Amino acid sequence: MASSIKIILRKKVTADEKYPLVIRIIKERKTSIISLGHSLDEKDWDAKAQRIKKSHPNSARLNNMLSKKLAEANDKYIELQTNNTDTSSRNITKSITATKQGTFLKQASLYLLRLKSNGKGNQLSADTPRVERVKEFLGGSDINFSEIDVPFLKRFQAYLKGTRKNISERTIVNHLVVIRTIYNQAIENNLVDRKHYPFGKGKIKIKFPESLKIGLSIADVKAIEIAKVGDHPNHARNLWLFSFYFAGMRISDVLRLKWSDMQDGRLYYKMGKNAKADSMKIPDKALPIIEQYRRDNPVHDLVFPDLETLPDLNDEIQVQTRIKTRIRKNNEQLQKVLEEAKVTKAVTMHIARHSFGNISGGKIDPKMLQKFYRHTSITTTMGYQANFIHENEDAALDSVVGF
The pLDDT profile of the chain, 403 residues, written as one tens digit per residue, is 456 888 888 888 877 788 888 888 887 778 888 888 788 888 999 988 989 999 998 888 888 888 888 887 787 777 666 666 666 767 767 666 655 557 899 999 999 999 998 888 889 999 999 999 999 998 878 888 888 999 999 999 999 999 988 899 999 999 999 999 999 999 888 778 788 899 998 999 998 877 667 788 999 999 999 999 999 999 999 999 999 998 888 899 999 999 999 999 998 887 766 566 778 899 999 999 999 999 999 999 999 999 999 999 999 899 999 999 999 999 999 999 999 999 999 899 988 888 888 888 667 777 776 777 666 777 766 666 666 665 566 665 556 666 6
What Cα–Cα distance (Å) separates residue 398 from each residue in 273, 358, 389, 392, 395? 40, 21, 16, 10, 5
**Domain locations in the chain?**
4-99, 104-196, 218-394
List C-alpha distances in Å: 158 to 137, 138, 162: 10, 13, 6
Architecture of the domain spanning 218-394: Orthogonal Bundle (1.10)
Q: Hey, CA dihedral for 90, 93, 95, 101, is it positive or negative?
A: negative
d(CA 222, CA 116): 42
Is pTM beyond 0.75? Reply is no
